[in-house]
Amino acid sequence: MELKFKVSGRISRPVTEVFEAVIDPAQLSSYFTTGGAEGRLETGSTVSWDFADFPGAFPVEVVEVVQNERILLRWSSNNAAVPDGKTEVEMLFSDTGDGRTLIEISEQGWNETQAGLDTSYGNCMGWSQMICALKMWTEHRINLRDRMYI
């Protein structure tokens, strides 16, 4: 059994706005990375994300960015199945044809153990929350995660 998941949601804003809200560290810090984000998501870069509920910034490798379509990331996991201990996160952005954006986020690469399963569930929850927070931020400029974890 391969441990992987995909979450998705529709945001009532154009793809260009939703995509920019993810790749721009100032916006990402305003609704998702509760401890802040440093570095714009660009192909080949490594950025830093920090979360209040997981204190201490950690590196996020930006494997590929296709403007307004796709972001591919790699980051460390104590329970990753690959030798370098990293899982892969893919974000896909699609225009729904009615002024909204469909965002799909998938992650894969954990060890097929109870610890890997537990970690994958935690990340699935986190990415689901990210989509909800992204929706509130882009549609209403509300930080849904404000004081949620601290």
Q: How confident is the model at residue 38 (pLDDT cuts 50, 70, 90)?
A: very high
In this prediction the pTM is 0.93
Q: For the chain, what is the mean pLDDT?
A: 92
pLDDT in tens, 53-107: 777 788 999 999 999 999 999 998 877 677 788 899 999 999 999 999 999 999 9
Instruction: Tell me the domains of the chain and their CATH numbers.
Output: 4-140 (3.30.530.20)
What pLDDT score does 116 carry? Answer: 87
What pLDDT score does 73 carry? Answer: 97
What pLDDT score does 150 carry? Answer: 65
* Assigned token pair, 134: 């992204």
- Collect all residues with Cβ–Cβ distance below 8 Å to 140 and sequence separation of at least 6: none
